[in-house]
Amino acid sequence: MAMASIVCRVQYLEDSDPFICTNFPEPRRPPTVNLEENLQLSEQIAGIHKLLEPPLKLEDCTLQLSPSGNYLDLDSSLAEQRDELESFYEDVAKGRKPILILRTQLSVRVHSILGNYVLKKLYNSQGPELRRSLFSLKQLFQVTRRGFDSPEQLP
């Protein structure tokens, strides 16, 4: 039995610095990749990483749907997540190629935010620089929060 594959466009987001919220997905013209619908995404993400050559560590990466912001479960296949991916499958049925964003896992980003980097940045900042840093932190949490449908999905 042949596996069903879905053609998607892929990009990456360089989001390793928690204080830079202005990055855009790269490349501007996303290449396409065939994802096997019944194969766990964890077995397919390395191919996406190799294709894009992002400045991200493979072991820290996850996949996020664009523009909805929903994160995919790498331990499941697309078919196993079909109920949660209604708009994704609607796009596929209409002949569209959905966009997946390769980015740093939320837990890694949160750890980075709460790590020494943020503490040093905030501790050594004052005046306008401190306000900018706090504003960037607030933006980051707002952007990150949009990727969740329910509180149970929080790590």
Structure tokens at 106: 């939320």
pLDDT in tens, 82-137: 999 999 999 999 999 999 999 876 655 555 655 556 667 777 778 888 878 777 77
The rounded radius of gyration (Å) of the Cα atoms in the chain is 17
> Are the CB atoms for 20 and 132 separated by under 8 Å?
no
**Which residue segments constitute the domains of the chain, with CATH numbers given?**
5-105 (3.10.20.90)
* pTM score: 0.68
> Are the CB atoms for 8 and 100 separated by under 8 Å?
yes
Closest CA relative to residue 78, chosen from 42, 33, 32, 25? 42
